Chains A and B, each alone.
Chain A
Amino acid sequence: MPIDIYLNVAVGGILAGLVYGLMALGLSVIFGVVRVVNFDHGEMMAIAMYASLLAFSLFKIDPLLMILPCAVLLFGLGYCLQGVLINRFITRPEHSQFLLMVAIAIIITNIQLIAFGPDARSVQTPYAYDSYQFGRLIVDADKLYGAIAALVVAAMLFAFFRFTRLGTAIRACADNYTGAQVVGLDVKRLYALTFGLGCACVGAAGAILMLSADVTPQFGPVATLQAFIIVITGGMGSMVGALLGGVLIGLTAAMAGLLFTPSIKAMFVYGILVLVLLFRPQGIIGKKTS
């Protein structure tokens, strides 16, 4: 019997971790190509979560159906942000870019506070308490749907980078900035596109997460930190690493919540970050840079 509990919690953690992995995937793509650390990543996810919340409370639209609209919305936001503001900061020092994002993050979080108030809000889907049973394994329906949706979105992103001309062009920019300019690629537009795509990932993740999590204005900063922890754990700039990191963090948090108390699980996650930063700073998958 106890083994069953561990197994169920572990599977739940992995499924939840895939959604966090999708969120972190966006951050990783942006960092890998544009070399800008998107410090308002979690705040952007909160925008998608509030959009799904509004759609649900006003029109009873299932958050899963909001994945595409949220992705499109956040793509637009990210594209404009990169085009209007961040492109000017590409040549500025790292901490200057970072502070620009901090400023944007403060504004987003507090506009959400003004618009929606400080209370935690959630969505009650008809299948919120459903579950599937596979042998002795019991899986929550919302977590299963969420994980599948996250995998589908991630697969689409992989396919885009692998098999389309545009995706190849973006990878070229990431590999060699000057080279990409020499062969005539419009690097600034490709950067904006990449930033948009990264934001679209986090938008999709936000809609999915609304199935199982509450949203508050304070959720944004915490999610940003979580995205960073996942990306650093998986390897900055690595797409597979982001998903793996998400799964690892989800699993750790779930097991720590089961073995100790749920409120302490974040400490284990920070513990992982510290260990990774110290002993494997390039992450699980990342390549060692000189």
Chain B
Amino acid sequence: MMGRLTDGLPRRALVLLALLLALAVVAPFCVGDYWLTVLILILYFAYTGQAWNIMMGFAGQLSLGHALFVGLGAYTTATLFAYYGIPPWIGLIAAVAVTVACGAIIGFLAFRFRVAGVYFAILTIAFAEFARTGFDNWSFANGAAGLFLPVAQYTHNDLWQLRGHPAMFYYVLLAATVLVFVASRLILKSRLGFYCLAIREDEQAARASGVNTFRYKMYAVMISAGMTSFAGMFYAFFYNNLFPEQVFNISRSIEIILAPLVGGVGTLGGPIFGAFVLEGLAEGLHNLLDTFGIDIPGIKQVVFGAVLLLVVIALPEGLWPWIARRLGLAERR
């Protein structure tokens, strides 16, 4: 398994990875609460971006409704915790089951009835919006009034109940991001990954060579959905409040796809690198404007949009493949 993980990577890529990981581990001891929150945001978008990447980057199925899986994961774990006192890690099992089932339904309908390309993307948005209006009117989940978790006590870290200081959340998310990164690499090097890539490149050719395209597209959607549900749990327990209007919003789905798009769809480094670049830019801009005493809500998204526009026009592969080639980090073929 280790062999499969590191196979083909140049040594300097491994050294860089180890260095990055070491930096990420010691980071909470070196930075204040503000930058810790920024790091959490970066990891959050790296995580969700990687989970989305499995569907779009590997299997070529464009989802613009991933907020659906975040929201379902968040609501499942939060209601179980708030109403029945079930710890989030147990709730996560239920959340994974719910999101995988939901992904399976969407995938089954779409792939069985040959809803593809842009129509598929629209279908995913429609499901997310359907859930948004549904949860807005569902009194069990407290509807539009929102669901609140008892606020975390900073003095005492309880990993099992996921209540505590942001640093604990940071490490939980870091571990999850590393896990999803490793899992993605393993998938990419497995039969499943090769089939997915074949489907992405040319679905008809893949089917003609005997790949059960329906089944592997289903796997990709279900894996991606299940992985995303963890991000939902994290969201719910980190922010302690859930509003359908916010978690299921289209702009949440768009946020999720920005990091992998800018970093490089279908690559492993892309979502992480993209998240760093985007959040770094946003924070840099925020601090710059702050020194002049200006606060413009929405400017961050304009910058994100502009970066995405530039990348789509000039580097459709994304930033990471371009940089990796220049630094000699690209995988040998």
Residues of A within 8 A of B113 (CB): 277-279, 281
Instruction: Check if A221 sits within 8 Å of B313, measured CB to CB.
Output: no
Residues of A within 8 A of B130 (CB): 266-267, 270-271
Binds B, one of A13-21, A102-110, A148-156, A170-178: A102-110
Complex interface bits, B130-145 against A, C-beta within 8 A gives 1, otherwise 0: 1001101100000010
A61 part of interface (Cβ distance < 8 Å): no
Binds B, one of A92-100, A158-166, A191-199: A92-100
For residue A106, give the distance in angstroms from its CB to the closest CB of chain B. 3
Interface of B is mostly: helix
Binds B, one of A51-59, A206-214, A225-233: A225-233
Residues of B within 8 A of A111 (CB): 298, 302
A263 part of interface (Cβ distance < 8 Å): yes
Instruction: Check if B250 sits within 8 Å of A225, measured CB to CB.
Output: yes
Give the total of B residues in contact with A, Cβ under 8 Å: 41
- Chain A's closest residue to B302 (CB) is A110
| Chain A: interface size category | 35 or more
A171 to B172 alpha-carbon distance, docked (Å) = 58
B301 part of interface (Cβ distance < 8 Å): yes
- Chain A's closest residue to B132 (CB) is A266
Instruction: Check if A281 sits within 8 Å of B309, measured CB to CB.
Output: no
CB within 8 A of B109: which of A85, A92, A103, A274?
Answer: A274
A118 to B296 alpha-carbon distance, docked (Å) = 12
A110 to B307 alpha-carbon distance, docked (Å) = 14
Residues of B within 8 A of A281 (CB): 113-115, 119
For residue A78, give the distance in angstroms from its CB to the closest CB of chain B. 17
B81 part of interface (Cβ distance < 8 Å): no
A270 to B309 alpha-carbon distance, docked (Å) = 29
Interface of A is mostly: helix
For residue B260, give the distance in angstroms from its CB to the closest CB of chain A. 11
Given known A274-B126, A277-B115, A281-B113, contact A100–B312 (CB-CB < 8 A): yes
A261 to B138 alpha-carbon distance, docked (Å) = 12
Instruction: Check if B254 sits within 8 Å of A106, measured CB to CB.
Output: yes
For chain B, residues 267 to 321, give those with C-beta under 8 angstroms from any C-beta of chain A: 296-299, 301-302, 304-306, 308-309, 312-313, 316
A105 to B64 alpha-carbon distance, docked (Å) = 14
- Chain A's closest residue to B297 (CB) is A113
Instruction: Check if B133 sits within 8 Å of A107, measured CB to CB.
Output: no
Complex interface bits, B117-136 against A, C-beta within 8 A gives 1, otherwise 0: 11101110111011001101
Residues of B within 8 A of A106 (CB): 254, 301-302, 304-305, 308
- Chain B's closest residue to A108 (CB) is B305
- Chain B's closest residue to A228 (CB) is B122
Complex interface bits, A168-192 against B, C-beta within 8 A gives 1, otherwise 0: 0000000000000000000000000
Instruction: Check if B298 sits within 8 Å of A114, measured CB to CB.
Output: yes
Instruction: Check if A266 sits within 8 Å of B305, measured CB to CB.
Output: no
CB within 8 A of A99: which of B119, B133, B261?
Answer: B261
Q: Given A110-B298, A267-B133, A277-B119, list of 9 further CB < 8 A pairs?
A: A92-B316, A95-B118, A96-B316, A100-B309, A100-B313, A102-B308, A107-B309, A110-B299, A274-B123
10 contacts between A and B (CB under 8 A): A95-B62, A100-B313, A103-B305, A106-B302, A107-B302, A225-B122, A270-B126, A270-B130, A274-B123, A278-B109
3 smallest CB-CB distances across A and B, nearest first, come from A106-B305, A113-B298, A107-B305
